[in-house]
């Protein structure tokens, strides 16, 4: 890893003791605040099971959910009243998935060590697999900004130590013209990633450090003022900070210990949506965007909420 003195321009300081000016996840949640998001009696529903290790859900506007089974080397498609079916196999041991502004599938592939795009004709193209001539580690999760740029995390979960070429675990921006920019390289294990609704903040999970960091997004797409937004540490519960999404009011939902932790934009823990299995990622779905789909180990869950989530902003022909 890098020494604490090393940092990138506009990436914020790289010290391990980041300034913490936000309430930690260990503080007492305001359960009434969570009730504004979730009815007290509403519980998660298991809708599919029997997978190996699922991740990367994304809702397709044609009315179905896509998600990855990393160990099963498959991307599945799930639709109401139907069994999950194979969408792609092999998948390059796909992890995170999202959609670009044209509605095309963008995937972080572990074994291929790349970010790929599935064209409308089914052809799969590589968008990024190297930085400065060296192979990426194993791209993990992604978020698409309204300008078409793709932000992604690159921890080493999908490779062996001897396969590493870069020597750090970074967060990148892939511009629409194909330029790949390293934004931050001082994470231990960067993982889930999501924008605030106005895209002026970017939240990134560090699974090893069990915290969420937040950065200000500059006009050129680079990051600055990195700081800890919240900590998610509970030794009595399984799971680490993993996938993350945002609702239209700016609340942040992070998978991890005990289920899905929900934070206000100010960093206050509103509560936890409990899930029977250790959660890995989540996506907003259905026509109104108010159903939260949750991948958790070998099973897929969902829950209806009162607030819609942020979803890809598609271009129109107007």
Confidence band, pLDDT 50/70/90 cuts, at residue 233: confident
Taken in order 216, 222, 225, 230, is the CA torsion positive or negative?
Answer: positive
Cα separation of 212 and 209, whole Å?
9
What domains are defined for the chain? 31-304 (2.120.10.30)
Instruction: Quote the mean pLDDT of the chain.
Output: 89
Interval 134-145 mean pLDDT: 98
What are the φ and ψ backbone dihedral angles of 35, each rounded to 5 degrees?
A: -65, -20
Residue pLDDT, tens place only, 153-192: 999 999 999 999 999 999 999 999 999 999 999 999 999 9
Whole-angstrom CA distances from 270 to 42, 147, 166, 264 are: 16, 31, 38, 7
Retrieve residue 156's tokens: 């080493």
- Under DSSP, the state recorded for 156 is S
The rounded Cα 182 to chain-centroid distance in angstroms is 18
Would you put residue 175 in left (φ > 0), alpha (ψ -120 to 50) or beta? beta
pTM of the model: 0.89
**Continuous segment of H or E residues that includes residue 33:** helix 31-35
Determine what percent of the chain falls in helix, strand and coil, rounding each to the nearest 5.
Answer: 5, 45, 55
């Amino acid at each position: 890893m890098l020494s604490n003195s090393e940092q990138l321009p506009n990436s914020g300081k790289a010290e391990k003791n980041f300034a913490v000016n936000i309430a930690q996840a260990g503080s007492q949640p305001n359960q009434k605040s969570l009730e504004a998001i979730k009815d007290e009696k509403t519980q998660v529903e298991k809708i599919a099971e029997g997978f190996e290790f699922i991740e990367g859900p994304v809702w397709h506007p044609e009315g179905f959910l896509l998600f990855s089974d990393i160990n099963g080397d498959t991307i599945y498609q799930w639709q109401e009243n139907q069994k999950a079916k194979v969408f792609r196999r092999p998948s390059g041991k796909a992890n995170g998935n999202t959609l670009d502004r044209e509605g095309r599938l963008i995937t972080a592939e572990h074994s291929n060590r790349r970010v790929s795009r599935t064209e409308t004709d089914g052809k799969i193209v590589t968008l990024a697999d190297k930085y400065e001539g060296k192979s990426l580690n194993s791209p993990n999760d992604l978020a698409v900004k309204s300008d078409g740029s793709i932000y992604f995390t690159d921890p080493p979960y999908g490779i062996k130590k001897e396969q590493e070429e870069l020597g750090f675990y970074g967060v990148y921006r892939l511009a629409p013209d194909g330029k790949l920019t390293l934004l931050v390289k001082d994470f231990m294990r960067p993982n889930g990633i999501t924008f605030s609704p106005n895209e002026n903040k970017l939240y990134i999970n560090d699974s090893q450090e069990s915290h969420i960091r937040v950065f200000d997004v500059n006009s050129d797409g680079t990051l600055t003022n990195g700081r800890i937004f919240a900590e998610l540490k509970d030794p009595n519960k399984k799971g680490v900070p993993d996938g993350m999404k945002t609702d239209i009011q700016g609340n942040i939902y992070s998978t991890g210990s005990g289920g899905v932790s929900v934070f206000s934009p100010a960093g206050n823990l509103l509560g936890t949506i409990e899930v029977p299995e250790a959660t890995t990622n989540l996506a907003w779905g259905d026509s109104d965007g108010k159903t939260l789909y949750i991948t958790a180990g070998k099973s897929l869950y969902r829950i209806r909420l009162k607030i819609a989530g942020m979803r890809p902003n598609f271009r129109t022909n107007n």
